[in-house]
Structures are given as C-alpha cells and as structure tokens.
C-alpha cells in the first residue's frame, strides 16, 4: 500500500477566515518503508502570517514573496498524492486548509483524490488516553529523535510523523505479506491454529495502578463538569 505522510504550515489557524498554506511536506511510505520519494513546497500565500504563527514556524513573509502560488502547483500535488492513503496528525486542520486551497482553484475536495485519511492524533488518543499526544510528546514516548525540531517545518514534521506512525503500528508488520517474494504460480496455504491450547494470564491491577486510574477518571470528570458517562450512570 502506498501511503503519504503529510503536514502543512499556514499563515494562521483559520482557513475559512482567509489564512493560507505556506508550506507542504510529504513523505512517501510503500509497504511501511520510506522510499525517499518526498514532496516539499513553499508557497506565496498572498498575505502575511499572523505573529503567533511566525513564532511557530519561523518562515518570514519576505522569504515567501518569490515562491510559487498554490494554484501553480496544484496539479503536481494532486498527481503525487493520487490514490494514496494520507497520514496526518490532527487531520481536520490540514484537510480543512487543503480543501480551501482546492476550492479556490475549482478543484474537488481532497477526499476525491485519495483512498483515505488516517489521523494519528485520533490514534494516539485511543492508544494513550489521558496523556499529551502532540508530535513532540509522541516522539519522546516512542523514542523518535526530534532533537532537530526547534521550529515547526512541514517536511521535518512529516518525516518525524512517519517514524511515529511506524512505531505506533509496529504490531501490524506480522500481518503484511509481500506478494513479490512469492512466485506467481504459487498457492497460498492456510494453516489452522487451535487457539484453545493457549491460556492467557489475567493480570489484576495493583493498588498503585488502581489509584492512578482513579486519578485520571477524576481529572476527566472535572474537565467535563461532571458530564462523563460514568458519572451519569452513577446518578441514574
């Protein structure tokens, strides 16, 4: 499967409010391996970046003045991502900006060109509930070297996210079969395994783990104003 790890930098936080993409970074994965076939562009957004955005990405307005506009590179970008599965951290943000840029040049929304989108932020929240799941936090947790990341950059962040995604989904490697390793006339042999021979141990939480779990529940309950599901069930 061809996957594209994608990240953008923008002039601000609101695509609907007129903010624009200033940088696009894409890293290609094929069969979960980096291919080196990456894509990286800077764009002239035809407006200045907000001061807060400049602090995040450090890309000056002057640097972008002579860069091509998104419209000039749209077809090349769509050809590159065509039929691939996109991997994006906080996908709603980047997809929203890309859809707005495509709308400006009379193109269909992003979903019309790709096979799907994986949001690694949603994955991380499910895998690590109650923890910080920013890209930096995931790099630290999964031992991905992000020492070169002093400012946000679309290509660097896409490269880091590719490593993070591979680490987050490492258990899937056993499920992948490289059909190219087998002769075309070979037959697939399925071996049935009797799962009844395996006994899975049941490990009960110790007192410290129970206390830590209760603390997380209390924090979630507090942040939701007492509207958590378990609180409502208790009151029912």
Distance CA 122, CA 49 (A): 28
> What are 23's strand-pairing partners?
9, 42
**Known catalytic residues?**
152
Taking CA atoms, 67 is separated from 22, 24, 46, 61, in Å, by 9, 12, 10, 10
116 forms beta bridges with 85
Token readout for 221 is: 């309950």
22 vs 194: CA distance, rounded Å? 55
Query: What does the radius of gyration of the chain's CA atoms come to, in whole angstroms?
Result: 22
Give the dihedral sign, CA 166/168/173/178: negative
Where do we find the tokens 């997809």?
A: 95
Both tokens of 215, joined, read 């603390």
Length of the chain equals 236
Residue 70: phi and psi, rounded to 5, are -55, -40
């Amino acid at each position: 499967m061809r996957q594209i790890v994608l990240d953008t930098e923008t002039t601000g936080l609101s695509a609907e409010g007129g903010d624009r993409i200033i940088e696009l970074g894409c890293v290609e994965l094929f069969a979960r391996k980096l291919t080196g076939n990456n894509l990286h562009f800077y764009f002239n957004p035809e407006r200045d970046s907000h001061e807060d955005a400049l602090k995040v990405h450090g890309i000056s307005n002057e640097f972008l003045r002579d860069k091509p506009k998104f419209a000039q590179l749209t077809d090349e970008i769509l050809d590159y991502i065509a039929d691939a599965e996109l991997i994006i951290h906080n996908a709603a943000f980047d997809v929203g900006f890309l859809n707005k840029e495509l709308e400006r040049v009379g193109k269909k929304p992003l979903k019309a060109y790709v096979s799907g989108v994986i949001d690694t932020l949603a994955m991380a929240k499910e895998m690590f509930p109650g923890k910080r799941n920013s890209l930096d936090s995931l790099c630290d947790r999964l031992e991905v070297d992000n020492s070169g990341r002093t400012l946000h950059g679309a290509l660097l962040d896409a490269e880091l996210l590719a490593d993070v995604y591979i680490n987050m989904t490492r258990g899937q490697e056993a499920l992948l079969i490289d059909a190219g390793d087998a002769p075309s006339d070979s037959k697939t042999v399925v071996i049935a395994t009797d799962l009844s021979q395996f006994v899975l141990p049941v490990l009960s939480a110790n007192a410290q783990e129970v206390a830590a779990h209760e603390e997380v529940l209390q924090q979630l309950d507090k942040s939701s104003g007492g509207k958590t599901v378990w609180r409502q069930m208790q009151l029912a």
